[in-house]
Amino acid sequence: GRRRSYRIDKRYIAADGRIVWCALTVVVVHAPRDRPRCFVSQLVDVTADRTREAELARRAATDPLTTIANRSAAWNRLEELDTA
């Protein structure tokens, strides 16, 4: 079937230079006989979610005492370099 909606995270730059992450959702509204009538779009600021996810990823990849990469992060980086 045809897609009636989609969602994507997009990065925007605010007037003050800050990076703002938004979830963009677009839905098609149909008229009779399933003809597209219009699109409805919605932007939701998900910057705080992105910030929390990045912090969790950083904590998972670093040793809490030394703040250097832990073994798992080091192996992942070596694999990235090996396949580059």
Q: Where are the domains of the chain?
A: 1-45, 53-84
Model pLDDT, residue 1? 60
Whole-structure pTM value: 0.66
Model pLDDT, residue 72? 83
- 29: tokens are 């509204």
Model pLDDT, residue 53? 95
Model pLDDT, residue 65? 86
Model pLDDT, residue 43? 96
What tens-digit pLDDT sequence spans the chain (84 residues)? 677 899 999 999 999 999 999 999 999 998 888 888 999 999 999 999 999 999 999 888 888 888 888 888 888 888 889 887
Find residue 42's DSSP bridge partners: 25
Give CA separation, 82 vs 14, 75, 77, 78, in Å: 38, 10, 9, 6
Instruction: Quote the CA–CA distance of 10 and 24 in Å, as a whole number.
Output: 7
| Domain 1-45 indexed as CATH 2.10.70 | yes
